[in-house]
A and B are shown apart, each in its own frame.
Chain A
Amino acid sequence: MSEMLSLDFMRNALLAALCVGLVAPMVGIFLVQRRLSLVGDGIGHVALAGVAVGVATRGSPVWSALLAATLAAVLIEVLRARGRTSGDMALALMFYGGIAAGVVIINRAEGAQTGNLTGFLFGSITTTTRGELILFAVLSALIAGTVLLLRQRLFAVAGDEEYARASGLPVLALNITLGVLTAITVVVAMRVIGLLLISALMIVPNAAAQQLAGSFRAASWWAVGLGVVASVGGVSASYQLDTAAGGTVVLLAIALFAVATTVGSLRRALARARHRHAERHLHEHGPGCGHEAVSHGDHVDYLHDGHRHAAHEGHYDEHAHGPQPPPEDSGRVGHEVTR
């Protein structure tokens, strides 16, 4: 570990991985919410064309990639807002055109050797320069700050665009903002995991977080935590195991997803076993419903035919204390929980 940290390029690599692990899931949760999980992939394809132009003109591939990705992201939102069915085809043309143009231009500029091309497609974290690292850190701070400021509005628009529009939120502006954030994330992640695998780090930690969290807020933080573990852990592992960093990061994220799914379903099974619903409950309790309310820890139980009923998700739970009425006392099939 200390040997790894003593290497200059590995320190840079780990810091870059930290940036990516933080911001990719932060932006990705809104893509998952909009059911546009693959859009990051498409923007990555177009970014390759930008990289190629940078390489061919001996300029900076990072800046040209940023420009291409941002333009693509804005165009996607404009096409989506127009809502034409031909928009889908236009996106396909743009995505495949981007990657094809990227490959052709890079090969033309660099001859037959495709080392550089592979580096951009699958990541080449150890070649990250100090200047690039600073740029990535600044861009990551920009992404994180914007998401933290606008997360509720992005959540509202991604969750129910029609309602957001009716309530007067600037829907197109927020969608374009999310698109630009996605584009910047793609470019920041380009060195660490490569343009073909970027989408995975935006999506997979969020898929895992959805298994563990019960609210949007909690899910966002879980996703960031899992993203950092996957990216920093993956880069360290790739050094120890001498494997490709980008692929290792993504495989680790998928392994975390598998663990989260298992933990999530175990937890749900345990919760099911530990409590019973009041079945066929055709009444909704509330203030003035006619049943006495008694406080019970952090919630209220309603006394209902000798049972204590507490709201849980879409049903009522049986919360029992003291003597239990005989089950044939009511038509309800309900058991008691001990909490």
Chain B
Amino acid sequence: MPVSTAPVLELHRAAFGYRGRAVVTDVDLTVHRGEVLAVLGPNGSGKTTLVTGLLGLSEHLSGEVTVLGTPLARLRDRTRVGYVPQRHTLTGGVRATVTEVVTTGLLSGLPWWRPPGRRERAAVDAALEAVGLADRARFDVETLSGGQQRRVLIARALVARPEVLVMDEPTAGVDRASQLVLAGVLHRLGEAGTTMLVVTHELTALRGIVDRIVEVESGHLTFDGTPEGYAVHQGELARAAGRGPGVLSPTADGAVR
């Protein structure tokens, strides 16, 4: 792994949203190579808007955003940032095999006239091996369990060997057998030095993998620190909530900006 001091992600007073309307604002965040971040927050807090903004899916409205040393708007090679979306249908209204779905992760890296060849097939096999789906490569994705489908999406993101992996709820609604395999996959990726941003509700599923936590609430960063620091932050919030009926400001104690 090349040792680089340049941050993988650098956001300064950044705002993201849709149709010109900001959903998350004033984000200052620096992520270094090899860090694994959990992005926490309630539904509608803007955490998905924030991470999809890095993929060009939500609009970057203001502030500075640098991805892999390049300003976001000028980032040409999008395959350097892998994306694992949270979704339930993988192929639209038709049948497709696991291999066919994972292969789509390589297409934007090929010239438009070139179909995937032998090298691409080897990359697909390696990605399926990495997520433990090598023996299910030729089955219809719709016949797989929820957790296996989630791993198909991870393989699709991994196949182009991205430097950063953005995942939206990779462990939500996954059966226990898959949950274990999934945790193993994420653990190995972390060990290998892959930078990861994981939007999640379930921190327990990611125990030992995450080394930094970012909390988003009502469109702002309300915490940025270690898992241990986050436990303290939550304890303070609980105490504050127990002490009085007053509404807690989203930027209350513990917020690191």
Residues of chain A touching chain B, judged by Cβ–Cβ distance below 8 Å, are 29, 32-35, 149-150, 152-153, 155-156, 158-160, 162-169, 206, 210, 213-217, 219, 281-287, 299-300, 310-315
Partner of A167, one of B79, B113, B129, B132: B79
Q: Mark B169-190, 1 if CB is under 8 A from A, else 0.
A: 0000000111011000000000
A281 and B156 alpha carbons, distance in the complex (Å): 26
Sample (19) of A-B pairs whose CB atoms are under 8 Å apart: A33-B93, A153-B107, A153-B112, A156-B107, A159-B91, A159-B96, A159-B101, A160-B85, A160-B87, A165-B56, A165-B57, A168-B76, A215-B95, A283-B177, A284-B180, A312-B139, A313-B136, A313-B144, A314-B144
B92: A residues at CB distance < 8 A: 32-35, 158-160
- CB-based nearest B residue for A31: B93
**Does B16 lie at the interface of the complex (its beta carbon under 8 Å from any beta carbon of A)?**
no
A286 and B83 alpha carbons, distance in the complex (Å): 25
Leading 4 A-B pairs by shortest Cβ distance:
A168-B78, A313-B143, A156-B104, A168-B108
- CB-based nearest A residue for B166: A166
Supply 11 further A-B pairs (C-beta < 8 A) apart from A152-B104, A167-B107, A314-B144. Answer: A32-B92, A149-B115, A153-B107, A156-B107, A159-B104, A162-B57, A167-B108, A169-B108, A215-B100, A216-B95, A314-B139
- CB-based nearest B residue for A281: B177
Partner of B100, one of A206, A216, A311: A216
B94: A residues at CB distance < 8 A: 29, 32-33, 159, 206, 210, 216, 219
Q: How far is the CB of B43 from chain A (nearest CB, A)?
A: 18
Is B56's CB under 8 angstroms from A166's CB? Answer: yes
Indicate whether A282 sits within 8 Å of B145 (C-beta atoms), given known contacts A163-B83, A210-B95.
no
**Does B148 lie at the interface of the complex (its beta carbon under 8 Å from any beta carbon of A)?**
yes
A306 and B219 alpha carbons, distance in the complex (Å): 55
**Does B97 lie at the interface of the complex (its beta carbon under 8 Å from any beta carbon of A)?**
yes
B200: A residues at CB distance < 8 A: none
A232 and B136 alpha carbons, distance in the complex (Å): 38
B115: A residues at CB distance < 8 A: 149, 152
Indicate whether A167 sits within 8 Å of B95 (C-beta atoms), given known contacts A159-B90, A214-B140.
no
B76: A residues at CB distance < 8 A: 168
**Does B228 lie at the interface of the complex (its beta carbon under 8 Å from any beta carbon of A)?**
no
A97 and B78 alpha carbons, distance in the complex (Å): 41
Is B143's CB under 8 angstroms from A314's CB? Answer: yes
Which residues of chain B (137-156) have a CB below 8 Å from chain A?
Answer: 138-140, 143-145, 148, 156
A285: B residues at CB distance < 8 A: 135
- CB-based nearest A residue for B101: A159
A35 and B144 alpha carbons, distance in the complex (Å): 21
Q: How far is the CB of B121 from chain A (nearest CB, A)?
A: 12
- CB-based nearest B residue for A311: B135
B81: A residues at CB distance < 8 A: 166
**Does B55 lie at the interface of the complex (its beta carbon under 8 Å from any beta carbon of A)?**
yes
**Does B116 lie at the interface of the complex (its beta carbon under 8 Å from any beta carbon of A)?**
yes
A215: B residues at CB distance < 8 A: 95-97, 100, 138, 140
Q: Mark B200-240, 1 if CB is under 8 A from A, else 0.
A: 00000000000000000000000000000000000000000
Q: How far is the CB of B25 from chain A (nearest CB, A)?
A: 22
